[in-house]
Amino acid sequence: MTPRLAALLPDLAPWRSSRDFRLLWTQGLVTYLGSVMALIALPLQIKDLTGSPLAVGVMGAVELVPLVVFGLYGGALADAVDRRKVIVLTEAGLGLLAAVLLVNALLPTPLLWPLYVVAAGVAALAGLQRPALDSLLARIVPHDQLAAAAALNALRWQAGAIAGPALAGLVVAYAGNVPAYATTVVCFCLSVLMCRRLSSVPPVEHATKPSLRGIAEGARYAWSRPVLLGTYAIDLAAMFFAFPNTVFPFLADELDADWSLGLMYSAGAVGSLLVSLTSGWVSRTRRHGLLVVFGAAGWGLAMAAAGWTSHVWLVLGCLALAGAGDMLSGLGRSTIWNQTIPDRLRGRLAGIEVLSYSIGPQLGQVRAGAMAGWTGARPAIWTGGLACVAAVGLLTTALPKLLSYDARTDEDAARRRAAAGGPVDPGPVVGDAA
């Protein structure tokens, strides 16, 4: 293998240096493979019960309030208690909700309302769990390996996102919802066992109890950092305008290609995987704001093209390109967050991060479902893609510091690097505004 080719391959340093990273990586893959079964089966079941795109899109609205409330509280909780305990308990709760879906699917006539109740419960538990998971990375991986760890985590997600939706689509189409939900239950049981083996991750010294005041402190810190605001705002806008997954069942119908539904859900992960498999360069990149901006704009353009074309294979190709853009943007966001946020605020800021990358898709489902009911699936997709590009341009103009972010010179990154024991670039470093 030539040195140039080797430099493109993923950096495996986090995998070699951290047992907990290896364990968390494997657990995340098992969880995702199980979750995606339910993620595919649930909207399809609502579609079969109602025949309404809006009814499918309403699932996003049902999830929104629990996600906001418990996401913010979960961030404060992650700073105050052992993060491993939070992960184990919420993972067990998600397994119980999967069991509810299984029981409902076994009824002679499945009920509609439990599907929405479970969707709200999953959003609440995910909101509690994600800050603990996301804030854990900087505690178990050396500072200079954070970008590589983000790429490896993305690779894990993509492996599940490619195999999972395609497999789930086949399982639901040919075997029904019961086997899909049963698989979800089994995967969560395995995940809980693996989470219990993680090392304890106690809070930092003098950590405060979860409170509104603590949440407000995290929000003030985020508001005072234009770079962080830019990552949140761009991701929120990109997902709100150009996250059309909820209308994929109807798009497959419009294209007379029901067989393509699973591929539509997994196509984005194919594009993301191509980026991850050549992500060795990420460890050497310092301008991560550029990745956020151009990745999000590429996501929107590719989604617009996917909605415009009527050839199913071109649609799948455009969705793959969208996934590549989203992957670039995600790598930039994750690295900036881990490089700049102090550990004492990491849980609370992770709660805000959860909102930035979760509220957008939830609202995006409602937007896409409502518009598809009015105009059809394809116009709902391509107009959203163009709106995404416009929003990214406006936000970049309003928050120029994101585009100019450089890990070598950014003051917050220098402080975080010093706290982690790494080298600090020369130059003045001002005090912590928070």
Tens digits of residue pLDDT in 291-348: 899 999 999 999 999 999 888 999 999 999 999 999 889 888 888 887 888 877 878 8
What proportion of the chain, given as a percentage, has pLDDT over 70?
Answer: 91
Pair 246, 56: CB distance under 8 Å: yes
Pair 74, 132: CB distance under 8 Å: yes
Q: How many CB atoms lie within 10 A of CB 404?
A: 12
What 8-state DSSP symbol labels residue 93? H
Per-residue pLDDT band at 427 (split at 50, 70, 90): very low
Query: For 89-93, 122-126, 169-173, 197-201, which range has the lowest pLDDT when averaged over its residues?
Result: 169-173
Nearest to 158 by CA among 338, 8, 324: 324
Element (H, E) at 205: none
Q: What is the pLDDT of residue 106?
A: 94
Per-residue pLDDT reduced to its tens digit, 246-269:
788 888 888 888 788 878 887 888
pLDDT at position 431 over 50: no
Pair 59, 43: CB distance under 8 Å: yes
Q: What angle do CA 30, 25, 277 make, to 5 degrees?
A: 105
What proportion of the chain, given as a percentage, has pLDDT over 90?
Answer: 29
Q: How far is CA 24 from the centre of its chain?
A: 16
d(CA 57, CA 369): 5
Pair 183, 37: CB distance under 8 Å: yes
Query: For 5-9, 200-204, 218-222, 224-228, which range has the lowest pLDDT when averaged over its residues?
Result: 5-9
pLDDT at position 433 over 70: no
Query: For 124-138, 228-242, 294-308, 318-332, which range has the lowest pLDDT when averaged over its residues?
Result: 124-138
Pair 351, 170: CB distance under 8 Å: no
Cα 313 to Cα 11, 90, 252, 310, 368: the distances in Å are 32, 39, 11, 9, 21
pLDDT, the chain, mean: 83
pTM tops 0.75 = no
Per-residue pLDDT band at 383 (split at 50, 70, 90): very high
Tell me the HSE value of 402 on the side-chain side, using a 13 A CA sphere.
29
Per-residue pLDDT reduced to its tens digit, 26-83:
998 898 888 888 888 888 888 888 888 778 878 877 887 888 888 888 888 888 888 8
Cβ burial of 433 (10 Å; 0-12, 13-18, 19+) is exposed
Q: How many CB atoms lie within 10 A of CB 87?
A: 25
Q: What is the pLDDT of residue 102?
A: 95
Cα 23 to Cα 18, 27, 202, 218, 311: the distances in Å are 9, 6, 18, 29, 42
pLDDT at position 237 over 70: yes
d(CA 364, CA 245): 9
